[in-house]
Homo-oligomer: A and B are copies of this chain.
């Protein structure tokens, strides 16, 4: 280890930033001198042997522009929305306290409304290695900053799949924990009932290290949740993975279907059992996120800006939000009731019956349906976006946990699958993902000193 490890890492990052010429990745970059000053402090602390206090020392972090970083503007990709927070969102503060350095705020689909990465007045974010293709969104800049190797970790947010789709398109790991496990104070809401903070990394172990630091309730956050008494801390010995019927994959190209089949083969080769499950209630819920009344939550978040016709509004986002303003409240209540019913039906696949272990530990699905070009999305911005959320939209609506992992390539782009399980089964799917990738799973998401609060389910 050199005496300037952190400083060297920062210098390397700026070399990449300068070399790649991808200004659209960032909305705000931290002042370089300030970053080097932080690096020097961390190097000094490590020289003094304080490394255990700063387990993430020298890891570089990119933060999505809808999350507060004290001292940097938050804009959620709308210039006129900008404000200057004095307090960082807990996930940011916890990473910094562990020794990570924030390089800047990343571009995103405005108000986190989109899965494409093109809906921003700061420019469409191009894919890291196929620049004529989309990056995926809404956490577009965060994913690309990781994929280009600029940062080690990026924070995203995920309502419809924004922390998973861009991970899949770049061959990254994207972890979307159970709602409420990472506080969402200091995060501009997209759809406040269904927003989650997420982590991107090139490597599962790195994502786990970050996640272990940032998970945990915050008493100022009304939507914070703590681990229930039934929390499962590992998959069962014989792990059962639900897979979709072939008919449910018809939106995928032949090449993508082959990649998914190969991923399922991998699951089996790793010693897990697969069982075909009925996706109907999951897929029916997925369309409720934008095609039902739940979209009214987006008006609550962005309606004032859209109604004011502020400059810099993305036209597609503005159209979605504007339409959301006219929905009657009782329709929202109805859709929530329908969602409850669908969820009860859907989640039966995770249950055992009468002592027989017939339930699955997790579901594996393609993370998204396709990797479109920028031009294709520009020509048809709503339908392609909707299709891409087919296998992600329902996850937060059903209060599930999910992890997106790389699974080969399809049609010349990275291909990814997601493991999905009920709320609070986060460690279960991380362990399954590690097994799938042929890696160790650590560190554990729940620190050892909480284990006495938790019962194996």
Contact = CB atoms under 8 A, between A and B. Distances in A.
A321 to B, nearest CB: 9
Interface stretch (A10-18, A242-250, A338-346): A338-346
Interface residues of A, number: 43
Contacts of A431: none
Contacts of A330: 296-297, 299-300, 303, 324-325, 327
A245 to B, nearest CB: 24
A351 B224 CA distance: 15
A312 interface: no
Interface stretch (A110-118, A146-154, A227-235, A376-384): A227-235
Contact of A340 (B222, B230, B333, B336): B222
Interface in A284-320: 293, 296-297, 299-300, 303
B229 A329 contact: no
Contact of A453 (B324, B331, B455): B455
A9 interface: no
Interface in A190-226: 192-193, 219-223, 226
A299 B333 contact: yes
A229 to B, nearest CB: 4
A337 interface: yes
Contacts of A3: none
Contacts of A220: 344
A343 B325 CA distance: 26
A328 interface: yes
A454 interface: yes
Contacts of A328: 296, 325-329
Contacts of A222: 340-341, 343-344
A271 to B, nearest CB: 30
A444 interface: no
Contacts of A331: 329
A296 B329 contact: yes
Contacts of A189: 337
Given A328-B325, A328-B326, A192 B333 contact: yes
B297 A192 contact: no
Given A219-B351, A228-B229, A327-B330, 8 more contacts: A193-B333, A226-B228, A227-B229, A299-B329, A299-B330, A326-B328, A327-B328, A327-B329
Interface of A: 189, 192-193, 219-223, 226-231, 293, 296-297, 299-300, 303, 324-334, 336-337, 340-341, 343-344, 348, 351, 452-455
22 contacts: A192-B333, A193-B336, A222-B341, A226-B228, A226-B229, A226-B230, A228-B228, A228-B229, A229-B454, A229-B455, A230-B453, A293-B329, A296-B328, A296-B332, A297-B333, A300-B334, A303-B330, A324-B330, A327-B328, A327-B330, A329-B331, A329-B332
Nearest 9 CB-CB pairings of A with B: A296-B329, A300-B333, A222-B340, A229-B229, A299-B330, A329-B332, A327-B329, A222-B344, A329-B329
